[in-house]
Amino acid sequence: MNKEELLQKINDQLIFELASGYEYKQMASEFNAMNWSGFEHFMEVQAAEEYTHAEYFRKWLEEIGYKVEYKTIEAPKAEYEKDILSIIKAALDHEKEVTRRITELYDAAIEIKFYQAYSLLQKFIDEQVEEEDTFETLVAKIERTENSNAGLSIIDGELARRQ
């Protein structure tokens, strides 16, 4: 891989971040339909964070002189099981895919000695540790409720306060 190919892959990651936001918006819609407003809010905040990541990639690419290319974003999964745990597990799986993609970019940057990309990608590697931990913790909490509405309601209230 050369520098230009890596820049294209970073551009692709920008698009993937936008698609991630789109995916989380769909999950928020699912929670809304299920009347879980805290879970909905959590996913709305998550979507906004993904859009912020995309902007960070865009600004970085433009600062180094790369012309960003926007591409078509596929529609997110339209229907999820009406089950909180399965939706949150899907989000965790998605974050693991983000981690895989960012790590692959970082490895390529090291391989071609593209030093300017190191700090950009390290920031997102660190971010992914936090993202995966957030979703893994949430999965564990939901599993402990054993689908009890009382337990899920407590978690819903906690998530409604997410900033």
The answer, yes or no, to whether residue 78 has pLDDT greater than 80, is: no
Give the model confidence (pLDDT) of 89-119 as tens digits.
999 999 999 999 999 999 999 999 999 999 9
pLDDT for 154: 97
Look up residue 107 and give its amino acid.
Answer: D
3-state helix, strand, coil in the chain (%, to 5): 80, 0, 20
pLDDT for 44: 98
Q: Which residue has the tokens 């998530």?
A: 159
pTM for the model:
0.94
**Rounded to a whole number, what is the distance in angstroms from the first to the last CA of the chain?**
39
Q: Class for domain 3-160, per CATH? A: mainly alpha
Per domain, the residue ranges of the chain are 3-160
Contact yes or no for 112/6 (Cβ under 8 A): yes
